[in-house]
Amino acid sequence: MKAAILGGTFNPVHYGHLFVAETIRSELGYEKIILVPANKPVHKDDTPVIDPVDRLAMLRLAVEGNPHFVVDDCDIRRGGKTYSIETVTHLVSAYDISGKPGFIIGDDLVAGFVSWKEAERLARETDLIVVRRTSEKPLPFAFPHRFVTNAILPISSSEIRKRVVEGGSVRYLLPDAVIAYIEAHRLYV
């Protein structure tokens, strides 16, 4: 199976995440996109992150019914800080992936990629796919990669959390099932 991996905090998952995953799947010919919620993201600032169990549940709700998307909870089960190289190593052994898996990162992560745990090995063992989140043009990146000129959807998890706190609408920014989960569990308030 030709598969690509999209990891992230998904705090919460939104249509920007899902659209990027679908773009990579359809434009680059991947059979599956494996979405992996981080347990404790290493490269995030001090933004409060809700319990991984809730983020996992919302991600599963968001992709329900899409046979091309798989949610894997390996980082949550492993516990501790989440390192991409450990995630990739696990997924390659757990799934029947043909060739190198794709590994999707946003262009906002390019500058700091060199500081990731075993960055060179990660670049060697995956096909790095850089998607646009902030820039119209490719940014300098020292590792072999493919730059995808996806449409940029100006949706962010931080904006969604802010809207929820302020009582604003988040409809059409994320799937209805995720909104219902946030409301039922009183998340981000």
- In sequence order, the 6+-apart residues with CB closer than 8 A to the CB of 59 are 10, 13, 35, 37, 71
Residue 38 lies in a domain: yes
pTM: 0.95
Region 32-37 average pLDDT: 98
- Structural domain total, the chain: 1
Look up residue 105 and give its amino acid. Answer: I
Q: Which residue has the higher pLDDT, 47 or 114?
A: 114
C-alpha angle 19-21-22 in degrees, rounded to nearest 5: 65
- What CATH code is carried by the domain that includes residue 134? 3.40.50.620
The pLDDT value recorded for residue 45 is: 60
| Mean pLDDT, rounded, for 137-158 | 93
Q: For 59-94, what is each residue's pLDDT tens digit?
A: 999 999 999 999 999 999 999 999 999 999 999 999
Instruction: Find the mean pLDDT for residues 127-155.
Output: 92
Taking the CB of residue 69, how many other CB atoms lie within 10 A of it? 20
Tens of pLDDT, residues 101-133 = 999 999 999 999 999 999 999 999 999 999 999
Over 80: is that where the pLDDT of 46 sits?
A: no
In this structure, is residue 181 part of a structural domain?
no
- Joined together, the tokens standing for residue 162 give 């802010």
Domain extent at residue 13: 3-153
Percentage of residues in the chain with pLDDT exceeding 90? 92
Mean pLDDT of the region 183-187: 97
Q: Does 134 fall in a domain?
A: yes
Query: Is 123 or 134 the better-scoring residue by pLDDT?
Result: 123
How far apart CA 156 and CA 168 sit, in angstroms, is 15
Residue 186 belongs to some domain of the structure: no
The answer to whether residue 160 is domain-embedded is no
49 occurs within a structural domain: yes
Among the listed residues 70, 83, 36, the one whose alpha carbon sits nearest the alpha carbon of residue 56: 36
Element (H, E) at 8: strand 3-8
| Averaged pLDDT for residues 166-187 | 98
